[in-house]
Amino acid sequence: MTHISISPKTEFNILEIEEAKDGELWGRTITPSDDVSGETDEQILAAIAEYHTPEIKAAYQAMLDANAPDPLTDAEIICNAEAAIRSIRNAIYANGDAGQTASYAQKLEQAKAYKAADYSGTYSYLVEGIKDQPFTKQELADSIIGRAEAYMVLDAKIEAARTIVKVKVTSAALDQKQAAADLVVTDLQTLISAILAA
């Protein structure tokens, strides 16, 4: 590889590097804040040492700090996390319109009544549900009840996450608040995936 040019630009000596590789020109830049521990080329290392002095690095970092956006407040981080939690819940119930919800409530009512009657009696949904299927009315009823219980657990976990995220964010160190909120959302998603897969 042959270096065509290394040119310092701006008052912060941002290095513009052009390199010839496999017959093509490649360009890149190195700023005073870049991690250059992986650089091995002597010409580039010499330019970094010459132009990226401790004073230049300090001035460049001060400029970055001065132009950095204000950190999000606790309320903003919590609001964003709650929006993510709502999105998770909405995805779970995405197909649950009013008609489906009412229908499932009726199925659950029948399944519970059938179980309470020691799995005896005739219930229209359970009878229709097992036609041409390799399972019994009892298995279908237990499945419906189990699924309903799983969704109750999901709702409880979602509500708990809303409280947990507030506690975690407000108690975290300033530079760890966003990570704390992200972890609550990620843990919730992982937990829900495991429950739905069970």
How do residues 157-170 score in pLDDT, each as one tens digit? 999 999 999 999 99
Q: Are 150 and 131 in contact (CB under 8 A)?
A: no
Please list the helix, strand and coil fractions of the chain in percent, rounded to the nearest 5, in that order: 65, 10, 25
pTM: 0.55
Torsions phi, psi for 38 (to 5 deg):
-90, -5
How would you list the strands of the sheet with 14-21, edge to edge?
A: 2-9, 14-21, 24-30
Tokens of 27: 């360009």
How do residues 14-48 score in pLDDT, each as one tens digit? 999 988 777 788 888 999 999 999 998 898 999 99
What are the sequence ranges of the domains in the chain?
2-67, 74-197
Give DSSP secondary structure letters for 140-184.
HHHHHHHHHHHHHHHHHHHHHHHHHHHHHHHHS-GGGHHHHHHHH
Comparing CA positions, the residue from 42, 36, 40 lying closest to residue 14 is 36
